Structure 1
């Protein structure tokens, strides 16, 4: 399947009409380029792989008013405009009933989403950029963090341009960051919740550093220390299970989480911390994986009087209060102390 990219920057008239109007009018994905002081080197920014995660695009839109001095030729892929413009704009992660674009990289499948993922990957390979960042928002409210398949100085340097935290994962889902190589390090930046104003600033400030810093892949001196968490575990509901959000157990639900569960994002939680209410199947409603295989739920959680509790201290992150994402993707990730 042949995928064409739009390569024209928004005009002044389009900018005056606003970002959302431009998104609604775009017929295809975009690949835009700013020149740099060194035209022989390249960097790539990918954003809007998920249509409801706009902080990266908002940051780029802001910078268009006064483009920064880029250290090298810098490219911007604005990917899933089709999902972004549905139902008023920035509502859907992907089009209903369609594949998740950020689960299509390095994989074969039916649908134009796989063709677009392949086209993005091929364009990146042809440029041989010195670095790639993929800008996202978390499904729930919470602080920013980076996700990487590798813990190297280059990956830490990229993460440090945007955030104070990096997760080194082995979970492979078909995400862009899984295409990372020693020659072209790729990290995902989760800027925070899409509704959090601070997330847009994380994207804007980090993007400025990513575009201007040279050298880029040296860890910054004197900046904040980067906290690196290894081998996060993905926590999902078992197939066929139901979830709800409330202040107590709900008939017919296998798990009920409190509406403010997102407040647990990235805070250390003590062993025994109560997270929610389990249904008749108890811990059997959960599935855990670290990317290498399934894990025993009982090593991480314990049921106490019908409540889901942590077995030992740990951190939770990427918690969502959106039931559709909780069912289609995951409940959250976690690491032990």
Structure 2
């Protein structure tokens, strides 16, 4: 598995549609749109997760008639195999493959790690002015950005797409963790796949990203960016059971409401009901904030089997997709 340099689709290929074009590719692709200044570069990475298509849909929107790019714009479209598996854009990663956005800056035996290293090497050789990695959340959600760096450059890139930016200390092997002083990396979560405006977030943000003569000089952004710090990753421990239901499900270690994702980015008061716990109680859950703080018992308490918040908090990246909740995480949270 390696990157393939390919041209923009022809008129004929465009008319056959995006799926047909993706099916014709031999694997991950790298597409370059020439800019007015050919000595400068910006990079867009998308489809690291095969079930998150807003970025590739935005690419397709620009593919036939690109805007006047200020610099060379490079699109890296990664996990095409997963995107085409079964029903298009429903598979995060193939069962026998690791999550591609857990392969950067780490090593492993699978070819996915080699591909991640090749992508990073290609980016580093270009020394781009900025890198954005376009994603969708696994549940309904407003758009937000994620970074590991809270400086002005990262904020300004985020502001092209959204009004929210998370600054995290959690390290998982994600692309944005490879950010560099000369090349800031920012993840953009455009919202859920089913959210009607998710593709518009990607299209509008990328248009500014592609056409702005200078992303940073005298740039105050299109949104005043709300910054949230030290998000905590909340997970169910391995090999435990999770259900989504409007009441406790017997023999389940954790039951969450089927509409829990309606709380994405809304402040929740202390004592708010999150779900229901089984016999293991709070011990069924674990946390990771990248700094060894915020154990489960600091964030939640159990009351007659109910899982409740100890403090006011904002939850996000909540998913109601059972397999993603178990393989990735239940949600993230920031405590007031």
TM-score for the superposition, normalised by structure 1: 0.97
Show the 5 A alignment for 1:23-38.
23-38=22-37
Deviation at 1:24, TM superposition (A): 2.2
Map of 2:328 onto structure 1: 329
Map of 2:141 onto structure 1: 142
Show the 5 A alignment for 1:39-118.
39-118=38-117
Deviation at 1:238, TM superposition (A): 1.1
Deviation at 1:293, TM superposition (A): 2.1
Q: Please state if 1:263 is matched with 2:262.
A: yes
Deviation at 1:218, TM superposition (A): 4.3
RMSD: 1.2
Show the 5 A alignment for 1:1-337.
3-218=2-217, 220-221=219-220, 223-293=222-292, 295-337=294-336
Q: Is the 8 A contact 1:210 1:216 kept in 2?
A: yes
Q: Is the 8 A contact 1:42 1:127 kept in 2?
A: yes
Distance 1:226 1:63 in 2: 26
Q: Deviation digits for residues 89-143 of structure 1, max 9, x if unmatched? A: 1010101131111100011101111111011000000000010000000011110
Q: Is the 8 A contact 1:160 1:220 kept in 2?
A: no
Distance 1:286 1:261 in 2: 17
- Which SS does the other structure have where 2:302 is aligned? strand
Deviation at 1:294, TM superposition (A): 5.5
Q: Runs (4+) of structure 1 moved beyond 6 Å?
A: none
In structure 2, do the counterparts of structure 1 residues 219 and 240 end up closer, same or farther at CA, with 3 Å as the change threshold?
Answer: farther
Q: Deviation digits for residues 6-64 of structure 1, max 9, x if unmatched? A: 32222222211111222222211111111111111110000000000000110110112
TM-score for the superposition, normalised by structure 2: 0.97
- Which SS does the other structure have where 1:122 is aligned? helix
Distance 2:188 2:71 in 1: 20
Deviation at 1:219, TM superposition (A): 7.0
Distance 1:145 1:25 in 2: 32
- Which SS does the other structure have where 1:32 is aligned? strand
Distance 2:131 2:326 in 1: 30
Distance 2:237 2:217 in 1: 42
